[in-house]
Amino acid sequence: MSPPASRKHHPRSRPLPRRVPVLLVLALAAAAATVASAQLSSEDYYDASCPAALLTIRSAVATAVLLDRRMGASLLRLHFHDCFVQGCDASVLLDDTAGFTGEKGAGPNAGSLRGFNVIDNIKMLLELMCPQTVSCADILAVAARDSVEQLGGPSWTVPLGRRDATTASASLANSDLPGPTANLNGLLNAFANKGLSTTDMVALSGAHTVGRAQCKNCRARIYNDTDLDAAFAASLRGSCPARAGGAGDGALEPLDGSSPDDFDNGYFGNLLSRRGLLHSDQALFGGGATDGLVRAYASDAGRWGSDFAAAMVKMASTSPLTGTDGEIRVNCRRVNN
């Protein structure tokens, strides 16, 4: 075939007309897929208003993870703890003030959440480039995706257009975030309350393939649970003392002892060998309805990766503030004046 004929099929001057109908169909399908995400826009949301926004977040996350690999885990968890409390509205980032109690002091968050300074730095850069344009809630969603990618996990496209809350709720943080002693029903309920399925719950739990938990959150399990490997328990007891209340409470244990900082499917393999660190981790594989899914993810990293990515998009579209609701905070730690 001659080059001119070939060019006729791919005219450089008008590449769009053929693609627009396809994009429209995809956009409509995506909009119909979940009600909660209907209001969010595509990832090009800031392309005109703040063209370097995504690149700025990506490079800041890459630097933070290079300096402290655990930070990738911490940023991912920050987004989860945002979305499960009032929706993905950056409520988790608000500091307490004299007249305001936020979520940072709630049980699941106090002395545990990390990464606030990384978000502050990103916000500072974005405010210099394009004032009051990129929301703190969108920064959290993109930073979570970029963190997973930095740690070697899957990637996905992040719908954008969230706005920031002017309120927060310590009581919802205490009631809606699942705790480390939860059993399978408790976990399923907590996720169902956010519109997330059994598959979403199991796939998202695979986030515990990275990061650390404090001794106080796994102590009861490693001293008293019976559904765990004996050698695994013995080695953990070496660094996590039985007595509560001392400095040992904060001793850090890897959530995935087989590859602590790699975003792989090792977490599910651990569950098969009864090496889940938290009681709530092992609850996914203990003779209940999710055993099959755990086995599938342990043997098929690709399937888990795509289920995880899909579930992250779902979780990230929990009750967002859009349009004229909420605001674009100037400082992620406080509401605008």
Is 91 labelled as part of a ligand binding site?
Answer: yes
**What radius of gyration, in Å, describes the C-alpha atoms of the chain?**
21
Proportion of the chain in helix, strand, coil states, percent, rounded to 5: 55, 5, 45
Task: Tell me if 103 is assigned to a ligand binding site.
Answer: yes
| Binding mask of the shown chain, residues 36 to 75, with x at each position contacting ligand HEM by CB under 6 A | ----------------------------------x--xx-
Window 216-245: contact mask with ligand NAG (x via CB under 6 A): ---xx--xx-----------------x---
Can residue 182 be called a binding residue for ligand HEM (CB under 6 A)? yes
Q: Give the Cβ contact number of residue 311 at 10 Å.
A: 23
Q: Decide: 92 and 104 in contact? Cβ < 8 Å.
A: yes
Residues 6+ apart with CB under 8 A from 139: 57, 90, 119, 122, 123, 126, 332
Smallest distance, ligand HEM to C-beta of residue 327, A: 26
Q: Are 227 and 318 in contact (CB under 8 A)?
A: no
Q: Given the complex with ligand NAG, which of 13 and 226 has the nearer CB atom?
A: 226
Backbone angles phi, psi at 97, to 5 degrees: -130, 180
Contact assessment for residue 91 and residue 169, using Cβ atoms and an 8 Å cutoff: yes
Stretch that binds ligand HEM, among 40-48, 153-161, 212-220, 226-234 (CB under 6 A): 212-220
Under the binding rule (CB under 6 A), the answer on residue 77 touching ligand NAG is no
Q: Does 203 bind ligand HEM (CB under 6 A)?
A: no
Is 81 known to be catalytic? yes
- Report whether 44 belongs to an annotated binding site: no
Convert residues 233-262 into a mask of x (bound to ligand HEM by CB under 6 A) and - (unbound).
Answer: ----------------------x-------
